[in-house]
Structure 1
Amino acid sequence: MKFFKIPFILFLLFAVSTLSAQKLNLKIKTANLSDKIKDGMAEITVYGGTEPYKYKWSDKSTSQNSLIADGLTEGAPYTVTVTDAEGLSETVNFTVPPESADEKINSFFVPLVNGIAKFLMFDIFKTFKLYDPVLHNDNGEILRYPNGDPKTMNIPFVVVWLIFGALFFTVKMNFINFKGFKHAVQLIRGVFDNPDDKGEVSHFQALTTALSATVGLGNIAGVAIAVTLGGPGATFWMIIAGLLGMASKFTEVTLGVKYRNIDKDGQVSGGPMYYLSKGLKKRNLGGLGKILAAIFAVLVIGGSLGGGNMFQANQAFSQLAGKIAPFIPGIEGYGAYFGVLLAVFVGIVVIGGIKSIANVTEKIVPFMAFLYILAAIIIIGMNISHTGEAFALIFRGAFSAEALKGGIIGVLIVGFQRAAFSNEAGVGSASIAHSAVKTDRPVSEGFVALLEPFIDTVVICTMTALVIIFTGYYDPSKAAGLAGVELTSKAFDSVFPWFSWILLIAVILFAFSTMISWSYYGLNGFKYLFGKWFGNRKVTENLYLISLVYYIIFLVFIVIGSASSLGAVVDFSDFMILSMAFPNILGLLIMASEVKKDLKQYMSDIKNGVIKKFK
């Protein structure tokens, strides 16, 4: 009997040791390398199993062969799954604990951003399997991230909503975006300006104020992203999106002027908050109008403090610090001082109200646009012999989708998405600036506004795209490791080694002009929501107190933006800006017939001489 017990015990010991050797035990070690966001690190140690191991990190940028993941967002949830040679696998969840104030603020906004993104970026076409979202290379092989996940494209719901609105208003307004171009130019020249009209700024000043909020980093960085992702063909669809967006701008600005408030002191308040509440009330939808107006006001305030403020200040300082760091070591640590200086300049302008803002933007916008376009034209002129080849790439890429193996729909969406995010047509923000114009004919300002997407997207964005195509930086192999502003800068630098200094000036001017315009947008939302809190005072005192409270908040956020790592905070704000399109376009769709009726009357008055020329 004892003879049989010994082998049995040995067998049990062998079985236990074998099972323990097969079982995977994972130990994760995290590290927070500095006070800055997105520099967390994690290292996995594996016990047991059979080598070699494969590591499947939820962080897409981490290789399957890597024990270490870096560049992680503090406070965000991550996973890593380890699989051994025998197919055994084990998963561990982890986070990198946030420590600094920047990291804690960022980690607070991460789940909010992810939640909003699920709605805004929801792909209804993918849900119903109307197209294949997976990207492939020239050989038909699936393109993958370093962690093994397939690369996919997305058709965001918010972009579909903006495109739908643009197409609807183009048809509804009888292609006003094309037919009204000549008349829009006449209005800008002041041909129909009546000096007795009520308002605070001229047609040209209203246009430049609205343009200063849209012409910015999106024209420099956003276009570079579109061309590298979608290839040269994305340029074609950006142009189409810009042309269609002109009808959206016409509709929203016409309503903005029509339903604006002008108090006894001549101060103007306007924008979607007012035409949503007043216009829908006329249609016995007052309850819906108030809700949509309040939602829009909250969104425009949030957008003004983030994407229209902190992001601009942060990017301006980042460009400045990166350029002068070789001459002033340690300049990266002086963001707060830059923020204070920038806040002073912004404060000097915005404290004077829309008239002061308009006086500045009418000088800055033409200058910075001329500076940027001139440099682009020179590069295009130097490569004029390649013009045919460049446009062939654009048209071939737009319809054959060689650069993006997700089909033509992929290139189309990339182009439309960058254009929509750049010119803000359908978002409603521009109608706030245009509401202050001197006119008693709302439709006339709608004509002026339709020029914005043309200038922003069809002209400036296209110039950027052509420079990138002419210099060859649309090629992913040449653009490797470059993104956004840096890619555009390299494209210009390849012809003009000194252009990065011009680009630095342009970025700072773009950021400054965007901030002063968005301060006015946010102020109008703030006045709409909180104006009644100051209602016991005189109108002038009321407006002064509201403006003072908002501007103090706005200027403080400039300093915070310059000195902080922004991350999810600005992502959250950008999503708020995009979210403005939902209440705005919904209201525009309901009131589109009213705008069309006003347009017919306006054109009849022009034809019959009721509206007279003053020049």
Structure 2
Amino acid sequence: MDALAKSILDVADWITLHLTVWILIGAGLYLTIRSRAVQVRHFPSMVRATLGSRGGAAGGISSFQAFAISLAARVGVGNVFGVAAALLMGGPGAIFWMWVVALVGMATAFFEATLAQIFKVRASDGTFRGGPAFYMARGMRSRAMGAVFAVITVVTCAFVITSVQSNAVAGTLSAAFGQGANQPIPGLGDYSAAQLTVAGLIFVFTAMVIFGGIRTVARVTEWMAPIMALIYIAMVAVVCLLNIGRFGEVLGQILSSAFAPEPLVSGLGGGLLAAIINGTKRGLFSNEAGQGTAPNAAATATVAHPVQQGLIQSLGVFVDTIVVCTATAFVILIAGPDVWGAEGANPSNLTTLAVASELGAWTVVPMAILIFVLAFSSIIAAYVYSETNMSYLVSDSTAATWFVRVLSVCSATLGGLVSLDLVWNSVDIAMAVMTITNLVALVVLSAWGLGALRDYEAQRRAGVVSPVFSGVGNPHLPGDLPGEVWADRE
């Protein structure tokens, strides 16, 4: 099994270096140029749109709730374990490549969220469904391509991501329980009291929320995602402020290692190829820009114009990587080689060890609780993505909906009990396939996203405070949109 896991990791690294990194950055640059750097020009609009996005849902899911769902998925263990893994295997330079992925990814996120809104459909419960599978089928007229993407997404989100998130948090919480709680219980195989407790907590909390459906997830993440992100940012910000004098030193390590042929920092991995591979993989796993998962949440929002949600989702990439991931990286780099090279240091505990080294051992338990909430939020967000894509495959099927809910809860619970090296390594391949397929669709359909952006900008120049979108007879679009969602916008 270890040999298979290693082989899969080698394949994932090859795909990342030779395909994903070039397609991801290339598509992001293409969309950035065509939109005249929408992520830069409209950054103030992103902030304003997000701050004013709690209302206007008309009984559906608000723009802010949809943003919170995707933020819950983004600000998860990828910000804690992903950054640590990138540093351990790719060195400080990996953070630079995470920044690159994020900056061009903001344009990618804008287009995928806008397209998700443009081509969304209304579900039987009155809410909206959409995402890559839908804009592939309705925009590219390729039902088969949409089906392939939907199947991969259902499997990846309902099984792989949920189990990976719970597996990661189980390791951290088990360590926080102490050695006594991690001894195998007689008669229960290798399972310890800590493992069973973590698995039980994951089962209870995920079942309570996921069995309530997408509306329940939206209501929970609306308050939980911003709060948990702010608490985590506040904790790492304290460490950064206490060491503000070392800001230049840490920044220098990141920039000098980004293009170095060999590792420059003792105790961490590195080298140019390692930095690119790990920065790209972990950046994508963290902010999801271009991956095609976040648009499934973006499509659920009730908004007057697709660009409104595109701007909000683009800001989510900035918050996730440029703010949260960077803060995590600074904390780890500030901690120094005594923490990086400590016996037992690994991606699952490195951030916790770094915070504890600066603020004290008392932070271990709060960090464990916070990581549990981070993982939990990502699990329920992944469920939304899988149910949306299942609704594409089997429209309005109650049995299919409950299958996804049960699968998500079961895989999350089991992930807290078993070793998932094989699954951890497989997730990079699954996300690479999703990303490449989605980016092809984004480039092909970019004229629709650009048309919506021009329509939004034209209305704002005309003095319209809240632009309203029409999918029929709109001179900025390549044609009329199918369906009734945007057909009559008085």
* TM-score category (smaller protein): 0.7 to 0.9
Measure the CA separation in 1 of the matches of 2:70 and 2:61.
12
Q: Secondary structure at the match of 2:140?
A: helix
Measure the CA separation in 1 of the matches of 2:199 and 2:306.
38
- Shift in alpha-carbon separation, 1:469–1:178, aligned structure 2, 3 A: same
TM-score, with length taken from structure 2: 0.85
Equivalent of 1:482 in 339, 345, 352: 345
- Shift in alpha-carbon separation, 1:257–1:356, aligned structure 2, 3 A: same
Q: Is 1:586 aligned with 2:440?
A: yes
The structure carrying a bigger strand percent of its residues is: 1
Q: CA offsets, 1:390-414, max 9 Å, x none?
A: 2232333334566359865653444
Q: Secondary structure at the match of 1:122?
A: helix
Measure the CA separation in 2 of the matches of 1:406 and 1:574.
19
Q: Is the 8 A contact 2:289 2:317 kept in 1?
A: yes
The structural deviation recorded for 1:474 is 9.1
Q: Secondary structure at the match of 1:426?
A: coil
Identify unmatched segments of 5+ residues in structure 2: 185-190, 469-490
Q: CA offsets, 1:478-498, max 9 Å, x none?
A: 356522122222211111222
Note the aligned Cα RMSD (angstroms): 2.7
Q: Is 1:449 aligned with 2:302?
A: no
- Shift in alpha-carbon separation, 1:329–1:212, aligned structure 2, 3 A: closer
Other-structure match for 1:384:
244
Q: Is the 8 A contact 2:158 2:404 kept in 1?
A: no
Other-structure match for 1:166:
28
Measure the CA separation in 2 of the matches of 1:326 and 1:390.
34
Measure the CA separation in 2 of the matches of 1:546 and 1:409.
43
Measure the CA separation in 1 of the matches of 2:272 and 2:399.
53
- Shift in alpha-carbon separation, 1:412–1:461, aligned structure 2, 3 A: same
Measure the CA separation in 2 of the matches of 1:353 and 1:579.
27
Other-structure match for 1:139:
none
1:130-141 paired onto structure 2 within 5 Å? none
Other-structure match for 2:51:
189
Identify unmatched segments of 5+ residues in structure 1: 1-37, 39-72, 77-109, 124-153, 282-288, 532-541
Other-structure match for 1:302:
155
Other-structure match for 2:300:
436
The structural deviation recorded for 1:290 is 1.6
The structural deviation recorded for 1:305 is 2.8
Measure the CA separation in 2 of the matches of 1:169 and 1:609.
27
Q: Is 1:217 aligned with 2:217?
A: no
Q: Secondary structure at the match of 2:192?
A: helix
Equivalent of 2:145 in 292, 314, 324: 292
Equivalent of 1:311 in 159, 164, 168: 164
TM-score, with length taken from structure 1: 0.69
Q: Is the 8 A contact 1:310 1:558 kept in 2?
A: yes
- Shift in alpha-carbon separation, 1:473–1:454, aligned structure 2, 3 A: farther
Q: Which amino acid aligns with 2:76?
A: G
Measure the CA separation in 2 of the matches of 1:388 and 1:226.
21
Q: Is the 8 A contact 1:401 1:407 kept in 2?
A: yes
Q: CA offsets, 1:550-570, max 9 Å, x none?
A: 212222222322222223134
The structural deviation recorded for 1:518 is 0.5
Q: Secondary structure at the match of 2:143?
A: helix
Q: Is the 8 A contact 2:89 2:270 kept in 1?
A: no
The structural deviation recorded for 1:452 is 1.4
Other-structure match for 1:41:
none
- Shift in alpha-carbon separation, 1:493–1:239, aligned structure 2, 3 A: same
Q: Is the 8 A contact 1:303 1:573 kept in 2?
A: yes
- Shift in alpha-carbon separation, 1:117–1:466, aligned structure 2, 3 A: same
Equivalent of 1:551 in 383, 405, 423: 405
Measure the CA separation in 2 of the matches of 1:516 and 1:220.
18
- Shift in alpha-carbon separation, 1:402–1:506, aligned structure 2, 3 A: same
Larger Rg: 1
Q: Is the 8 A contact 2:163 2:412 kept in 1?
A: yes
Q: Secondary structure at the match of 2:289?
A: coil
1:63-78 paired onto structure 2 within 5 Å? 73=2, 76=3
Q: Is the 8 A contact 1:232 1:474 kept in 2?
A: no
Other-structure match for 1:469:
333
Q: Secondary structure at the match of 2:304?
A: coil
Q: Is the 8 A contact 1:357 1:517 kept in 2?
A: yes
Q: Is the 8 A contact 1:297 1:526 kept in 2?
A: yes
Measure the CA separation in 2 of the matches of 1:236 and 1:568.
28
Q: Secondary structure at the match of 1:244?
A: helix
Q: Which amino acid aligns with 2:326?
A: T
Q: Is the 8 A contact 2:304 2:467 kept in 1?
A: no
Q: Which amino acid aligns with 2:300?
A: A
Other-structure match for 1:411:
275
Q: CA offsets, 1:318-370, max 9 Å, x none?
A: 22222113453537424355434422221221233222111111222122212
Measure the CA separation in 1 of the matches of 2:338 and 2:437.
36
The structural deviation recorded for 1:463 is 0.3
Measure the CA separation in 2 of the matches of 1:114 and 1:400.
27
The structural deviation recorded for 1:116 is 9.1
Measure the CA separation in 1 of the matches of 2:183 and 2:52.
50
Q: CA offsets, 1:50-102, max 9 Å, x none?
A: xxxxxxxxxxxxxxxxxxxxxxx3xx5xxxxxxxxxxxxxxxxxxxxxxxxxx
Q: Is 1:122 aligned with 2:50?
A: no
Q: Is the 8 A contact 2:28 2:107 kept in 1?
A: yes
Other-structure match for 2:418:
564
Q: Which amino acid aligns with 1:219?
A: N
Q: Which amino acid aligns with 2:192?
A: G
Q: CA offsets, 1:443-477, max 9 Å, x none?
A: 1110111011111110011001111121214996x
Q: Which amino acid aligns with 1:184?
A: M
- Shift in alpha-carbon separation, 1:198–1:322, aligned structure 2, 3 A: same
Other-structure match for 1:228:
88
Q: Which amino acid aligns with 1:375?
A: M
Other-structure match for 2:211:
351
Q: Is 1:493 aligned with 2:356?
A: yes
1:252-331 paired onto structure 2 within 5 Å? 252-263=112-123, 265-281=125-141, 289-326=142-179, 328=181, 330=183
| Larger RCO (CA within 8 A; separation ≥ 6) | 2
Aligned-pair identity (%): 30
Measure the CA separation in 1 of the matches of 2:262 and 2:422.
33
The structural deviation recorded for 1:307 is 3.3
